[in-house]
Amino acid sequence: MRFEVQPSKVTDARLTVPGDKSVSHRALMLGGIAEGRTHVRGFLAGEDCLATLAAMSDMGVTILRPAPTELVVDGVGLHGLIAPDTGLDLGNSGTAMRLMAGLLSGQNFSSVLSGDASLSSRPMQRVIGPLELMGATIESHDGCPPLTVHGNPELRGIDYTLPVASAQVKSAILLAGLYADGITTVKEPAVTRDHTERMLVTMGAGLERANHRISMRGHQTLHGCDIEVPADLSSASFIILAAVLAERADVLITDVGVNPTRTGVIDILQAMGASIEFENQRQFGAEPIADIRVRSSSLRGGVVDPALVSLAIDEFPVLFVAAAAAQGKTVFSGLAELRVKESDRIAAMAEGLRALGIQVVEVADGATVYGGPFKGGVVESHGDHRVAMSLAIAATIATDTVVINDVAAVNTSFPGFTNSLEQLGVSIR
């Protein structure tokens, strides 16, 4: 499967994007182990979240879908999950793999977590280490999936400092901490997305948060609730950049989650000169949302503050394209985590941008991108949904057609991506 994108005139538009992937995963897992019923609206019906839905169903949670983006989750309580008949296939989802490892560490059964070829190459030792300190036993293939999680219903709380800022590892420890005796504490070296903490509090758990430390007592009962999933800021970032790069466009993206642990991409683009404003700010339950107004702008390069990395970790492929379209050079550092995503995103974006005529100099934890015009060509996504979508946005201002290969993974996070671009006037097929 491939995209073929023609240089396009992006026009004024009002649209939204699918629901937040991070919130959707967590609604399924926490709703599944809560007491009572959880109603989820705005669910992201992408392949990653559907894999989590199937896994929770396989462990005895009844989940109804009265509409494609609406779920009714009948929770089984903290100790109500049952051993699945077969292994749990989590597809391409690193979030599902790491969070599920934490959830399953406190069960009274063993389970096998597997995924596709890309997920099977992703490192899991950073989540295995703390979970084993809590009393779980996890077998892996040299630190990579598949993982065999031997649950231990008598986990013990730990005080753990994350060596690298990671919302997924933090969340896995907190999920295991629900099953642990005593207090579980996680200290972050930098702020990461806090959807897990917000949803735990919404469902009745007591947390203490101060000075980058999150502490939680084990064996707390969660209670089902109504969850409104905001539109995904990571998905919106592609629409935002398309509007910024256009000659003359005014685009409104509605109902987008603007959790402050996620808005680094906005901060970085605004620092580069992008005209982006939040309108109609309000709350969907525990999550802040807004309509995002974007107007075409001229971007300038600069040095991206490494302190913003953890607040924009999934959006750097988009930001590499923004840098390539900016005047001057842009320096990225502190991005070593991108080397072990669905692809080596630094290498994949450098390769793709070079194929379109952009000069990129890689270093171990980042790159320097020199702004310039995009030419047409054929580029590889390396099976990475965010690389594929970012290069599609670059293609809108290229001098000729751009073909992007191996784009099937886009459905993991942004079903309807091509339809959204077509609403902006982009010629994509």
* Residues designated catalytic: 314
* CA 315/CA 237 separation, integer angstroms: 7
Q: What is the dihedral of CA 409, 414, 416, 419, to 10 degrees?
A: -100
* Cβ within 8 Å of residue 50, ≥6 positions away: none
Query: Edge-to-edge strands of the sheet including 250-257?
Result: 13-15, 250-257, 287-295, 275-284
Instruction: Tell me if residue 377 falls in helix, strand or coil.
Output: strand
Contact 348, 405 (CB under 8 A): no
* Cβ within 8 Å of residue 83, ≥6 positions away: 59, 107, 109, 110, 111
Place of tokens 């008598």: 154
- Token pair recorded at residue 33: 């182990």
- Element housing 95 (H / E): helix 94-105
**CA pseudo-torsion sign 112, 113, 116, 118:** negative
In this structure, are strands 88-89 and 275-284 parallel, antiparallel, or unpaired? Answer: unpaired
Place of tokens 């842009």: 330
Residue 124, number of CB atoms within 10 A of its CB: 26
* Cβ within 8 Å of residue 179, ≥6 positions away: 78, 105, 106, 107, 153, 155, 218, 219
Q: What is the dihedral of CA 388, 292, 259, 169, to 10 degrees?
A: 0
Residue 147, number of CB atoms within 10 A of its CB: 27
